[in-house]
Structure 1
Amino acid sequence: MTDNNHAQSTDTGRTKASRSATESLPARGEPTTTLPAVIPHQDDRKDESPWQGFWAYQRDVWERGILFWDTLRQRADNMIAHERAGKPPLLDFEYEMILDARRFDEPANYALLRITRIDEACLEDCFDPSKPPVVVMDPRAGHGPGIGGFKRDSEIGIAMHQGHPIYFVSFFPEPCPGQTLRDVLHALRRFVEEVTRRHAVQAPILYGNCQAGWAAALLSADCEGLAGPTVLNGSPLSYWAGKSGVNPMRIAAGFVGGAWMTHFLADIDDGRLDGAWLIANFENLKPESVWDKYANLFTNVDTERERFLEFERWWNAWYFLSREEIVAIVENLFIGNKLEEGKLHICDGCAVNLRHIRNPLVIFASYGDNITPPQQALDWIPAVYHDTADLKAAGQRIVYLTNPHIGHLGIFVSAKVARFEHRAILESIDEISALPPGLYEMKIDNPSGDPDCHKPEYTVNFEERDVSDIEVDTPRQAFERVREMSEANEEIYSTFISPFVRSLSNPATASMLEWLHPMRTSRYLFSEEFNPWMRVIAALAPIVERGRKPLPPTDRFRTAERDASERIAKMIEQAREHRDATEERAFALVYGAAPGKAATV
């Protein structure tokens, strides 16, 4: 039953990452992607001559090449099929839609889903009525929804296994016309109110991933007492913080003139920002990782194809943001850093103040994360609270947990992290809520090393820390100059140039730019529908699979191949490091200060 107040729906859906790729495509020429559990190696080669070994390697390279290009063909077809299906959330769980914010009086392209089933296991079968509901919020930063639950060992899977009722905040590919941050925040508040109404015993646990983390923080600050503990995973709240030589994204605005470029990209796309631009920025941060991704697929194509295709279904599902919200995000957060300063205005006359948060905060960050380093996740604490006494007087409990090496995406998608850190967080929620006000570091002691263990096989300790332990060394004056420059450029652009650009943009030109975006063309060109020559690859791939006998990894030619690939990756890494160092020197020269050292915890 649906009305404008609740917009409830009984629409059900299931989007399995392993199925969404092929359901909308013709079967003609589609090779199977199921590989033998064990692929025999050519081990009986002790007496072969060097020439025989060389020709065996040439055949192996040719076979791997066919399977490699066929994998890229399947990725392109998966991408097209997902777009034709309307880009549904890539969840590996069945769900029903509870609220559709597009039907609200102030619409937003968000929806509240309730997870109902995984295969034959119904949520009610493992539901524990004494446990609070968990609301998982995925980042809206270019990709589509699903990173919190696109496989079994995920945040949703672990929470479901623990017996929590699970809700998922999803979103649609297209923003509502004129959608603002205010509309989004009000929609999220309605979602939390609905979950609270359904589970009146306990307030829900908010689980915010990446950019959804600051949305969860805004929600916690705006809705005091409405939400239970809030978990922020790889979520930036202090945007000027970071480590010199490791986090170059925070100084990027100084080289493009500020927020006007984002405004321009949204203008030429008929009032929307294409998420493909954001993903291109992510890949540009560490181009050696892009090389490693494809090199690993080519080297281990016999075993890596399914994993590659599964992840790429999410990585290549790009959504749009409205001009109003993305410009506000860039101006106020990434460049303005107004959230930690308490100057972010969502509603007229109302500024978000992080001091208003009263529910316990759990901050999960990693030193291997070059997108949201621990500095950006934690440095807001000494900016908001003068000292530990101030934090305690505010009645707040902040618990942080760090990983020494996992990358940004690993915080959300790593099965090992889900089974260990996220399980430990959920199993310790009651202890966290019972902590007295203060700042704590969460330490997990797991003598067995088994990520699947449960308490008391591992122990969790909360070691009290001082706010002064978070050392901040951010050159605020330099970033203030960037903010002033950005505001001036944005004023000039929005007044004199934006009206002209908007007059030239329309749905037809926006569609053309979408199809011609380099991130899309680099994928589409491997599809049979765009490149007829790929039908040859599609026909050869099953033949190669049937007769495939890969060389052993110890083969001298394959060893030389891996060494060459590693040298290329190292060269790309060195070039990237030189690029980043040059940008930092230029930033210091132009804005008068080095980007700062690492903040330590």
Structure 2
Amino acid sequence: MPPDAMFSGHGLAVARTLPAAMPALARYWSDAAWRAVATMDTLRERAARMREHEAAGMPPLLHFDAEQVADGRDGSPPSNYRLLRITRCGSDHLERFVRPDAAPVVVVEPRAGHGPGIGGFRRDSEVGMALVEGHPVYFVVFDPEPLEGQTMGAVVQTLARFIDFVARRHPSTEPIVYGNCQGGWAATMALSHCNHRAGLAVLNGSPLSYWAGEPDVNPMRLSGAITGGAWSAHWLADLGAGRFDGAWLVQNFELLRPEGLWKKYDGLFADPAAEHDRFLEFERWWNAFYFLGREEILAIVRELFIGNRLQSGEVVIDGHCHANLAHVHTPLVIFSSHGDNITPPHQALGWLQAVYPSTQALVEAGQRIVYLLHQDVGHLGIFVSADVARREHRAILHHAAAIESRPPGLYEMRLTDAASEGAAPGAAFLPRRIEDLPFEPPGPGFERVSRLSNELDDLYTAWVSPLVRLWVTPQGARLQQQWHPMRTRVRGWSEQVQPILAVLPAARQALEAAGAQDTARASNPWFQLERAASAAVEHGITAWRVLRDRWVEASFELLHAPAPLGQAAGRLDIAQDDCRALAHPAAIRNTDAAIPVESSPNCS
């Protein structure tokens, strides 16, 4: 029998192709060995940088030189916040564009688990674009440790003093306050507090309406209902001897989109040479965990995220002044994204209908509000993406005077392409009506969650908290914090923990010298097969996450917002259908379009 007769159809093609594929397979395995060593070496470098940053006291991670001009410790009440003035931008010297008569920009960093830096840890950032547009720039930072007994009110009053301080230094023009996420709502509270004002306030990914959201899209707003409310934050602060570890908040961000965590490390393994610098730059900030005081985190959870009391004007700042959004007379720019599942447009804009019952009421209040929507960038991308900085943030600052001079009302800001390379984008301001905003008021289930949270927290405060505080010591609290999974997963790659890792740089160089690295791997069919398998894993994780989020929605409805049982069952059926659709191989082709990644270093 002739050899070819032994095969037919596809089998014959495989038999003829296999010998030609063997060299490609050998190249793949040698390159995979180099990529594995290079990836582990990058993780070793990450651990070393984390240790160096902690040993230095975890200073703010800024691309720019700065000098301190004010200290929150000097105020009353004091806080751990400080005000820096940007003095120089490395070899780029963007400070040469600054005009003495331009409005100063005050960038307020978010205090949400990480340290300060996202508004200015690269050249093309909020700070960089403000310098390019000619503005003197101030940067609000905070220290890793809170002051004893520091409260949310102390932070708000410190920000108000900083805004007033900058205004006095630049008496010819009012400052532009640039708030990122938590920094945005804190700055808004400062501007609503006892008639403080600025020329313009820009709120980037800042939630002001904490119960708002869209079913199956924004599951984080339901997390308090599933965990029982504020008592869990109280317990973690007690375990920390009065300090709440920001690593818990960062861990929550990662769990929100676990497929993003897979994509981050898989992207590094796929091309360690290209991803090395960007990965380490981002991870240095991502793994710098700061602390909040017990009183501060409890006020944030009770008053804002669980109580949603900001839009009703019930948050007390200092005993006689309330944070009332209706008292904010500074023009506002609200920048939000449909791809942001932490602060979606619902939470950035939903408060408008609660504070201003009509467009006429907004006009009569003399307020002007401009909103700018991005279609797909994720939460972190709003702050750290270079593309967003060059387009959206530069446009906001370039057109700040036009925004301030608009008649009272609500406007949507639409950007147009720049007239020339290097110029700022154009902008059109389209009048809008508050009555037409597509945000439904939150259901009664959130009120029930707020009451339940108060009851459970009262029980915990009365019966459990005293015992936990009696048992926990400062030394024990610090030991617990050092063993937090977010820290140990980084430190586990340190040479101090695993001395054998010291050989990785030499092993990497040896493999490179032997020609193991394949720069043309993208055309290797075995590498393509690896990428297809990785995409399948990513979609499997996504399918699990979708099912988890649907279960959270259904559980919330059953426990706190009872609906006909058929509706809840229908929601779970839809979840299972979505999971099957996501797991289908055909869905793999749409990986990049379907999954915005918040925790990836590939934010730009």
TM-score, normalised relative to structure 1: 0.89
Give a deviation string over 1:511-543, Cα, whole Å, max 9, x none. 111111011111100010111121122331233
User: Which AA in structure 1 matches 2:335?
Assistant: F
Aligned pairs for 1:107-506 (under 5 A) are 107-120=78-91, 125-224=96-195, 226-446=197-417, 453-454=422-423, 458-506=425-473
Q: 1:508 aligns with which of 461, 468, 475?
A: 475
Show structure 2 runs of 5+ residues with no match.
1-16, 572-604
What SS does the aligned partner of 2:310 have?
Answer: helix
**Distance verdict in 2 for CA 1:590–1:79, change over 3 Å:** same
In the alignment, the residues of structure 1 paired with residue 149 and residue 227 of structure 2 have an alpha-carbon distance, to the nearest angstrom, of 25
What is the CA-CA distance between 1:121 and the residue it aligns to? 5.7
What SS does the aligned partner of 2:543 have?
Answer: helix
What is the CA-CA distance between 1:593 and the residue it aligns to? 4.8
In the alignment, the residues of structure 1 paired with residue 395 and residue 442 of structure 2 have an alpha-carbon distance, to the nearest angstrom, of 36
Give a deviation string over 1:112-148, Cα, whole Å, max 9, x none. 0000001246566322122100000110000000000
Structure whose residues are more often helix by fraction: 2
Partner residue, 2:534: 565
Q: 118-127 or 287-296, which moves further after superposition?
A: 118-127
Partner residue, 1:81: 52
In the alignment, the residues of structure 2 paired with residue 122 and residue 291 of structure 1 have an alpha-carbon distance, to the nearest angstrom, of 38
Q: Is the CA contact (8 Å cut-off) linking 1:366 and 1:404 kept in structure 2?
A: yes
What SS does the aligned partner of 1:442 have?
Answer: strand
Partner residue, 1:580: 549
What SS does the aligned partner of 1:295 have?
Answer: helix
User: Larger Rg: 1 or 2?
Assistant: 2
Partner residue, 1:554: 523
What is the CA-CA distance between 1:424 and the residue it aligns to? 0.5
Q: Is the CA contact (8 Å cut-off) linking 1:115 and 1:123 kept in structure 2?
A: no
Q: Is the CA contact (8 Å cut-off) linking 2:160 and 2:191 kept in structure 1?
A: no
1:591 aligns with 2:560: yes
User: Which AA in structure 1 matches 2:29?
Assistant: Q
In the alignment, the residues of structure 1 paired with residue 470 and residue 75 of structure 2 have an alpha-carbon distance, to the nearest angstrom, of 30
Partner residue, 2:70: 99
Q: Is the CA contact (8 Å cut-off) linking 1:57 and 1:551 kept in structure 2?
A: no
Q: Is the CA contact (8 Å cut-off) linking 2:28 and 2:521 kept in structure 1?
A: no
What SS does the aligned partner of 1:208 have?
Answer: strand
What is the CA-CA distance between 1:79 and the residue it aligns to? 0.6
In the alignment, the residues of structure 2 paired with residue 475 and residue 95 of structure 1 have an alpha-carbon distance, to the nearest angstrom, of 43
What SS does the aligned partner of 2:199 have?
Answer: coil
In the alignment, the residues of structure 1 paired with residue 76 and residue 378 of structure 2 have an alpha-carbon distance, to the nearest angstrom, of 40
What is the CA-CA distance between 1:68 and the residue it aligns to? 0.5
In the alignment, the residues of structure 2 paired with residue 110 and residue 60 of structure 1 have an alpha-carbon distance, to the nearest angstrom, of 48
Number of matched residues? 548
TM-score, normalised relative to structure 2: 0.88
What is the CA-CA distance between 1:470 and the residue it aligns to? 1.1
Give a deviation string over 1:141-183, Cα, whole Å, max 9, x none. 0000000000000000000111100000000000001000111
User: Which AA in structure 2 matches 1:470?
Assistant: L
Partner residue, 1:534: 501
What SS does the aligned partner of 2:341 have?
Answer: coil
Q: Is the CA contact (8 Å cut-off) linking 1:245 and 1:580 kept in structure 2?
A: yes
In the alignment, the residues of structure 2 paired with residue 447 and residue 530 of structure 1 have an alpha-carbon distance, to the nearest angstrom, of 52
Q: Is the CA contact (8 Å cut-off) linking 1:475 and 1:593 kept in structure 2?
A: no
What SS does the aligned partner of 1:483 have?
Answer: helix
What SS does the aligned partner of 2:82 have?
Answer: strand
What SS does the aligned partner of 1:341 have?
Answer: coil
In the alignment, the residues of structure 2 paired with residue 285 and residue 559 of structure 1 have an alpha-carbon distance, to the nearest angstrom, of 29
In the alignment, the residues of structure 1 paired with residue 238 and residue 512 of structure 2 have an alpha-carbon distance, to the nearest angstrom, of 48
**Distance verdict in 2 for CA 1:105–1:533, change over 3 Å:** same
**Distance verdict in 2 for CA 1:123–1:295, change over 3 Å:** closer
What is the CA-CA distance between 1:52 and the residue it aligns to? 2.0
User: Which AA in structure 1 matches 2:292?
Assistant: L
**Distance verdict in 2 for CA 1:593–1:413, change over 3 Å:** farther
What SS does the aligned partner of 1:252 have?
Answer: helix
Q: Is the CA contact (8 Å cut-off) linking 1:116 and 1:122 kept in structure 2?
A: no
User: Which AA in structure 2 matches 1:434?
Assistant: S
Give a deviation string over 1:424-471, Cα, whole Å, max 9, x none. 1001011001100000000112177x8x5425xx43111000001112
User: Which AA in structure 2 matches 1:509?
Assistant: G
In the alignment, the residues of structure 2 paired with residue 482 and residue 59 of structure 1 have an alpha-carbon distance, to the nearest angstrom, of 56
What SS does the aligned partner of 2:379 have?
Answer: coil
In the alignment, the residues of structure 1 paired with residue 343 and residue 349 of structure 2 have an alpha-carbon distance, to the nearest angstrom, of 10
Give a deviation string over 1:189-248, Cα, whole Å, max 9, x none. 221111111101111100000111101110111153531100000000000011111110
In the alignment, the residues of structure 2 paired with residue 559 and residue 286 of structure 1 have an alpha-carbon distance, to the nearest angstrom, of 25
In the alignment, the residues of structure 2 paired with residue 206 and residue 227 of structure 1 have an alpha-carbon distance, to the nearest angstrom, of 7
What SS does the aligned partner of 2:235 have?
Answer: helix
In the alignment, the residues of structure 2 paired with residue 80 and residue 429 of structure 1 have an alpha-carbon distance, to the nearest angstrom, of 41
User: Which AA in structure 2 matches 1:104?
Assistant: G
In the alignment, the residues of structure 1 paired with residue 305 and residue 76 of structure 2 have an alpha-carbon distance, to the nearest angstrom, of 29
